[in-house]
Structure 1
C-alpha cells in the first residue's frame, strides 16, 4: 500500500507558522519606539500652529488699535474706571473699545452703558461671557470662563463669585517697574502717567516700531511660575482676591506694569522678565522659550526668555529716549 502523503492544502497549512512570543515582543517594542519618536514631533507641530495663531491674534489687535486711532485720533481708553471727559463712572476698557475694529461691532452695540457697574454688571453678563478667539492664546490651557469677577461701583470693589466672564491672555503694558534701575519706572504707549487723558501716537517719541503695544500674560488669574506650575499662594504678590480677579477677563482691566522677577517667580526685581511668573506684572506665555508681543507698527515679535531686562524695559518705554529695535 503506497504511503499516504499529505495533500497540497494540508502541506501549505503545515508550512505556516505564527509569530513566536519573542518576535511579537520585539515588534511591539519597535512600534513603541516609533511612537515615542513621533509624539514630540507631533507636539512641536501643534505648538507651532498654536504659536502662529497667537501671533495672528496679536497682529489683529495691533491693527485694530491703528484703526481705532485713525477713527478717534487717540489710542483706546485702556482702563476700567477711567472717566476722562465724561465725569461718569462708566466702566470701559481697551478690550471693549476695539470690538468694532475686530468685527465684533454687534457685541459692542449690545452693551448696556447705563448701568452703574458697567461691564461687571449683571446686565452685561451675556456680553462679557462671550469667548473671543482674538483675545486668547490657543497654547494656554483653559477650563472655561473666569469664575468670580469684580463689581465696581461708587469707588468700591466687590468680588462676586456668582458671576463669570470669558478670559483674555493679552495685556497692555502700563509701564516697566524695577526699583533696582534708574529711573525705577518708564511709561508705556497707552498711558500718560496720570490716567487723566487719552494718548496719541505722537506721544510715542521713541517710535512705534521700537515700542511694545501688547504682551502675553497667559492664564491669569490662575497664577503660575516657570514650567507652568501653580504658584504657592503664600508667595502671591496680590494682596487680595479682589486685586487678582480685577484682571484676567477680556473686558476688564487688561493692563499692568511689567516687573522683573527672580527665575523661580517668587520675588520681583530680579533678572528675569519673560516666563518666570504671570503674577503681578509678570510677562508670561505657554510657548517654549519666550512669548509674543505686539509692536506699535503693527508687527509681532517673539521675545526670548533670555532677553536682557534693560533691553526689554527700553522696548516697553514710549518716551524714555532708549530706542530698542528688536530683542
Structure 2
C-alpha cells in the first residue's frame, strides 16, 4: 500500500520564514556590533602605531615633528609639508620618504611641486580608520603638474586649546572668530615652527605625557546648519594629507592642514567650526559610536566619549595649563 507523503502547509512555511526572520533580526545587530568592535580595535592599533612612531621620531630628533613653516610668498610659493610626511620613516615608509624633496609647494595649488609623482602614489593604510565612511582618495588638479590622486587620512594632530586648558566649560558659539580661518594656537603637541612657536619635545608636556593629546580622529561626516552631510576634515584642502598649512608669522589667524585646535566639543554639528577644510578649529569626530579615540603623549590610546566635560577636553589639548583633570 502506497503511503501518502506529507509536505509543509502554507501556514507552516510562513511560520518557519517568520522565525528565521526574527532570528536574523536578533543576530544582525550583534554581528554589526562585533564588526565595529573589531574595527575599533584596529583603529586603536593604528593610533598606537602613530604614538610609537612619534616617540621614535622624538628619540631621533629630540623633538616631535612640526607641522608647518612660514610659506614663501614669492613666485616659487614654497609651502611646507605636514607632520605626517616627517613621520614616514617611522611608519615603514622610508622608500617614499627618501624620494621627498623638501622644497616647492606641497599644497600644489599655486607653485610647482617636485613631489607630485611620489605623493600621488603614496598610500599609508595605517593613516585611515577602518570604520570611516569617508573617501580615502581624492583627485586634485595642480597648478603645474597636472591631476594627481592623493590620500586623505582620518587622523589629525592637536595644536592646542582655544582656551587655557581646564579653565572653562563655556563652549564657543562663534563659527570662526574674527576671520574666516579661525584662531590658531600653539599650546599643543603638533605645532608649526614660526616666530610664535618652535618644535617641542615631550619635556614640554609639563602637565605630564599621560594628560595631553597628540593625535585624534576626524573619521566621519559632519552635518552643517541645514542638515547636509559634509566631509569636513583637516586633510581635505589642497595638498590633502601631505600639506601642513601656511605656518604664518604675522597673525594669529592662519589656514591649517592636518592639525586642529580644540575649540568645540567632540562631534559638534550645525555649522559651528565647520566652515572649511583649511580652517583652524575643525572639531574632532569619529565613526565609532559615542566618542573618539585619542593618542596621548605617552603613546597610549584612550576612548573619549562625546559627553566628556569640555574643561577636560581642553585640558587634554593644552600641554602646559597646570589644570588637574578629572577622570576621563
Query: Same fold, TM exceeding 0.5?
Result: yes
Once the two structures are superposed, the pairs formed by residues 277-316 of structure 1 within 5 Å of their partners are 280-316=281-317
Residue number among 54, 62, 81 corresponding to 1:73 in the alignment: 62
Asked if residue 113 in structure 1 is aligned to residue 113 in structure 2, the reply is no
Question: Which of 129, 132, 143 is the aligned partner of 1:140?
Answer: 132
Structure holding more helix per residue: 1
8 Å contact from structure 1 (residues 146, 167) kept in 2? yes
Structure 2: state its 5+ residue gaps: 173-182, 245-256, 274-278
CA change 1:261–1:248 in 2 (3 A) is farther
How many Å apart are 1:243 and its aligned residue? 9.8
TM-score (norm 1): 0.75
**2:264 is aligned with 1:260:** yes
1:81–1:92 contact (8 Å) kept in structure 2: no
CA deviation after TM superposition for structure 1 residue 313, in Å: 0.5
| CA displacement at 1:124 relative to structure 2 | 2.5
Matches within 5 A, 1:140-289: 140-148=132-140, 162-177=147-162, 180=170, 187-191=187-191, 194=195, 196-219=197-220, 223-225=221-223, 230-231=228-229, 245-246=237-238, 248-249=240-241, 252=244, 253-260=257-264, 265-268=269-272, 280-289=281-290
Larger Rg: 1
Counterpart among 81, 88, 97 of residue 92 in structure 1: 81
Distance in 2 of aligned mates of 1:268 and 1:160: 35
Task: Give 1:70 deviation, angstroms.
Answer: 0.6
Alignment check: 8 A CA contact 1:213 1:296 kept: yes
Report the CA distance shift for 1:127/1:267 in structure 2 as closer, same or farther (over 3 A): closer
**CA RMSD between the two structures:** 3.6
**1:193-251 deviation digits (Å, cap 9, x = unpaired):** 855421122211111111111010115xxx5239xx74379xx8x9xxx9951475356
- Count of residue pairs the alignment pairs up: 284
Structure 2 CA distance for aligned equivalents of residues 268 and 290 of structure 1: 18
Of Structure 1 and Structure 2, the greater strand share is in: 1
SS in 1 for 2:98: helix
Per chain length, whose mean CA-contact separation is higher, i.e. which structure has more relative contact order (CA < 8 Å, sep 6+)?
A: 2
Name the counterpart of 1:319: 320
State TM-score, norm by structure 2. 0.75
Instruction: Summarize the Cα distance change of 1:70–1:232 in structure 2 as closer, same or farther, 3 Å threshold.
Output: closer
Alignment match, 1:57: 46
C-alpha distance in 1 between matches for 2:39 and 2:50: 17
